[in-house]
């Protein structure tokens, strides 16, 4: 049964999803949010067309974005988000269950996007394809269904969940007077500047005062699902993150794995977390022009 207590849980498993679809099929939409790094040469949408969870729709990280920005996938304006998800059959009251083929990589970005625009009933299904199949359920292989378009009303951006360059600059203006922690989810070699960025022409290194918690430290091997909350809390505590009301900004390469950090912090009860939407792709371009913005080393 999809109970009231389940509704308070961000993470669902196959049994939860099956119960949800049995009880509220007309009010629920599964979203495949698979996205790959530019270096991976894979196409999440093409994989979706081959097979998917039954009835799922595809949410394109590079489709539902601000197309006026030169950066990879900045948040879209609220009206464009509303139009995009309305075309997927999602309205304000829909139960949205998000998964990706890696397990827990790009789906948190889409979860965060829905949260930014005020959607209440949004869930993550980690390790979805494996959990689904090992639970005895099959994948859909015929052409995906075309949903009836609906009107998504009341989408407004919650800026309390989004950080801009101006927010970063305010922290750097006088770090001694700021209690905001900036956490970088990129691999340690990119954080230190010892490895190049995956996008050409962008400086390598990190934001001064930021700390590095690679997102891979927060997930189980294979990027399948987040580690248990107790382990996550230990990781954060070792980095001095104990005050769960203190302001935190998460960053990464382009805002995708910063959202893994966002969800991990949310699972641990942190209440004042923002994702730096442009992340290093935007910041690194600025640092290429202004070396005072750049730090290297541990």
* CATH fourth-level superfamily of 160-293: Rhodanese-like domain (3.40.250.10)
CATH topology identical between 4-157 and 160-293: yes
pLDDT per position in the chain (298 positions), as tens?
554 344 446 899 999 999 999 999 999 999 999 999 988 999 999 999 999 999 999 999 999 999 999 999 999 999 999 999 999 999 999 999 999 999 999 999 999 999 999 999 999 999 999 999 999 999 999 999 999 999 999 999 999 999 999 999 999 999 888 999 999 999 999 999 999 998 888 989 999 999 999 999 999 999 999 999 999 999 999 999 999 999 999 999 999 999 999 999 999 999 999 999 999 999 999 998 898 999 999 8
Contact 266, 124 (CB under 8 A): no
Q: What tokens were used for 31? A: 């979203």
In the chain, domain spans: 4-157, 160-293
d(CA 99, CA 30) in angstroms, rounded, equals 8
The one catalytic residue in 33, 203, 252, 263 is 252
| Cβ atoms within 10 Å of 48's Cβ, excluding its own | 21
252 as an active site residue: the answer is yes
Contact 264, 105 (CB under 8 A): no
Residue 275 buriedness (CB in 10 A; 0-12 / 13-18 / 19+) = buried
Contact 196, 288 (CB under 8 A): no
CATH topology of domain 4-157: Oxidized Rhodanese; domain 1 (3.40.250)
């Amino acid at each position: 049964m999809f109970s009231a207590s389940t509704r308070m849980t961000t993470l669902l498993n196959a049994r939860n999803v099956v119960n949800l679809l049995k009880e509220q099929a007309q009010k629920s939409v599964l979203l495949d949010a698979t996205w790959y790094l530019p270096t991976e040469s894979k196409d999440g949408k093409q994989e979706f067309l081959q097979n998917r969870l039954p009835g799922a729709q595809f949410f394109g990280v590079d489709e539902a974005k601000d197309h006026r920005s030169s950066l990879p996938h900045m948040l879209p304006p609220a009206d464009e988000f509303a139009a995009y998800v309305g075309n997927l059959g999602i309205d304000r009251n829909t139960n949205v269950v998000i998964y990706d083929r890696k397990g827990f990589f790009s789906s948190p970005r889409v979860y965060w996007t829905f949260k930014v625009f005020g959607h209440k009933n949004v869930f993550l299904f980690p390790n979805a394809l494996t959990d689904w199949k090992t639970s005895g359920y099959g994948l859909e292989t015929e052409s995906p269904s075309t949903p009836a378009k609906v009107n998504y009303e009341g989408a407004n951006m919650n800026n309390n969940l989004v950080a801009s360059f101006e927010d970063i600059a305010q922290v750097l203006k006088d770090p001694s007077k700021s209690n905001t922690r900036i956490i970088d989810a990129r691999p340690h070699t990119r954080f230190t500047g010892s490895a190049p960025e995956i996008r050409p022409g962008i400086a390598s290194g990190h934001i001064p005062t930021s700390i590095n918690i690679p997102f891979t430290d927060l997930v189980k091997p294979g990027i399948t699902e987040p580690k248990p909350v107790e382990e996550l809390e230990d990781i954060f505590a070792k980095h001095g993150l104990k005050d769960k009301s203190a302001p935190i900004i998460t960053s990464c390469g382009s805002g995708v794995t910063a959202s893994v950090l966002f969800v991990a912090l949310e699972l641990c009860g942190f209440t004042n977390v923002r994702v730096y939407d442009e992340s290093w792709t935007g910041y690194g371009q600025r640092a290429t022009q202004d070396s005072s913005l750049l730090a290297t080393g541990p």
